[in-house]
């Protein structure tokens, strides 16, 4: 049985900010980001341990074709919580402080 994915408020804010930024940069790029994000969230839902632990119990999944964006998440017995969706070049404190 798949565990539900919970997007924390800060992760939802990350997604909105990234979408808006990409759309301003190039129309349609935000939609492309959203599709790749949905793909990786589906993989996480079906195979939560597929991606490695990078710090404490936080895992990171890289978006396909937008490899500079990562989904940081934690697997619990009954759910998966997404802490952040950020560019990998961002300071690690940004997502670590959300744990």
Per-residue confidence in pLDDT tens, the chain, 99 aa: 789 999 999 999 999 999 999 999 999 999 999 999 999 999 999 999 999 999 999 999 999 988 789 999 999 999 999 999 999 877 777 878 888
The number of folded domains in the chain is 1
Range of the domain at 24: 5-96
The Cα–Cα gap between 10 and 65 comes to: 23
CA distances to 4, 6, 61, 86 from 67, rounded to whole Å, are 24, 22, 9, 11
CATH of the domain at 64: 3.30.2310.20
Query: What pLDDT sits at residue 91?
Result: 74
Query: What pLDDT sits at residue 98?
Result: 86
């Amino acid at each position: 049985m798949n565990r539900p994915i919970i997007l924390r408020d800060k992760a939802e804010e990350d997604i909105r900010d990234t979408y808006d930024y990409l759309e301003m940069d190039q129309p349609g790029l935000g939609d492309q980001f959203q599709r790749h994000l949905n793909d990786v969230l589906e993989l996480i839902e079906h195979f939560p341990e597929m991606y490695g632990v990078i710090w404490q119990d936080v895992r990171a999944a890289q978006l396909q074709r937008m490899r500079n964006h990562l989904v940081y998440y934690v697997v619990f017995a009954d759910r998966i919580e997404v802490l952040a969706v950020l560019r990998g070049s961002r300071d690690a404190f940004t997502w670590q402080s959300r744990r």
